[in-house]
């Protein structure tokens, strides 16, 4: 943990952007035992149903989750869930400049509990090799960092689908450009954080997207402390090429972004 403290914490970004489209409520939830209705449900949750060329395949799986902070045991306890693979995804974000196009053709895996309709997680992995993109920390390590540095917690899954879909949440002005990220992961959770009351944001748990961008181009030259003071940076590339963002799932506002949790430093990984 001491080594992690040596890595500079990116300043928390507060971005207030409105937007988002409604997703059907519980009374309109489809029969998730049927593949065609699962496809439609996931298309609406992700917003990918408005992208061209996306192909889908479905299968039932069990998940062994060891990295999701606060919820890895809950996710692993869900059995025979839907894994919807969505290929040939090129993200198109609202508000993005026309010259900025998705750098990658992506494959997303979307995990949905057919019994509850809960969206368990969304993942998109990078096929290549980036030596600075270290593995995610174990869930317990991530929890300790998120709680200690930022006072956050995830308190389960919302019972209602998000009003703002995943694609629109990606366009909410995140810390880092999703179109340049090598990997994108997302959770839709009941999220809580103390200390946002000054910004008119309740500390009570609310449905929010937690979107992690990994493999971002590293920042150069300066860093910004949480106090707003700039200083020259000696932060390693592996400590600054990712961000975790919190987006209000009802309004589409990006509430905060940081580079916490940090991966285990390379020296620590060698000791394991």
Question: Is residue 77 classed exposed, middle or buried when 0-12, 13-18 and 19+ CB atoms within 10 A define those classes?
Answer: exposed
The span from the CA of 118 to the CA of 113, in Å, is 5
pTM surpassing 0.85?
A: no
Question: Is residue 55 classed exposed, middle or buried when 0-12, 13-18 and 19+ CB atoms within 10 A define those classes?
Answer: exposed
Tens digits of per-residue pLDDT, 124-156?
999 999 999 999 999 999 999 999 999 999 999
Tens digits of per-residue pLDDT, 217-230?
976 544 443 434 44
The span from the CA of 157 to the CA of 253, in Å, is 19
Q: Is the peptide bond before 261 cis (omega within 30 degrees of 0)?
A: yes
pLDDT at 27: 53
Tens digits of per-residue pLDDT, 6-59?
443 333 332 322 233 334 444 567 899 999 999 999 999 999 999 999 999 999
Tens digits of per-residue pLDDT, 191-212?
998 776 655 666 789 999 999 9
pLDDT at 226: 40
């Amino acid at each position: 943990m001491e080594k992690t403290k040596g890595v500079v914490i990116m300043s928390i970004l507060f971005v207030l952007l409105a937007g988002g489209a409604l997703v059907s409520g519980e009374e309109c939830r489809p029969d998730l035992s049927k593949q065609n209705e699962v496809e439609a449900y996931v298309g609406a949750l992700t917003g990918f149903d408005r992208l061209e060329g996306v192909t889908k395949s479905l299968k039932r799986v069990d998940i062994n989750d060891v990295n999701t902070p606060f919820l890895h045991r809950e996710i692993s306890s869900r059995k025979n869930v839907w894994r919807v693979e969505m290929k040939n995804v090129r993200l198109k974000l609202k508000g993005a400049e026309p010259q900025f196009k998705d750098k990658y053709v992506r494959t997303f895996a979307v995990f949905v509990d057919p019994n509850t309709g809960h969206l368990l997680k969304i993942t998109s992995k990078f096929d290549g090799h980036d030596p600075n993109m270290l593995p995610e920390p174990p869930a317990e390590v991530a929890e300790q960092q998120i709680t200690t540095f930022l006072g956050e917690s995830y308190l389960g899954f919302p019972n209602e689908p998000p009003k703002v879909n995943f694609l629109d949440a990606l366009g909410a002005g995140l810390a880092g450009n999703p179109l340049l990220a090598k990997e994108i992961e997302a959770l839709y959770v009941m999220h809580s954080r103390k200390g946002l009351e000054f910004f008119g944001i309740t500390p009570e748990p609310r449905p929010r997207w937690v979107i992690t961008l990994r493999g971002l181009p590293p920042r150069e030259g300066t860093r910004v402390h949480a106090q707003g003071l700039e200083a020259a940076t000696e932060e390693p590339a592996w400590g600054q090429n990712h961000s975790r963002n919190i987006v209000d799932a009802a309004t589409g506002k990006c509430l905060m972004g940081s580079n916490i949790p940090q991966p285990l430093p390379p020296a620590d990984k060698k000791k394991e």
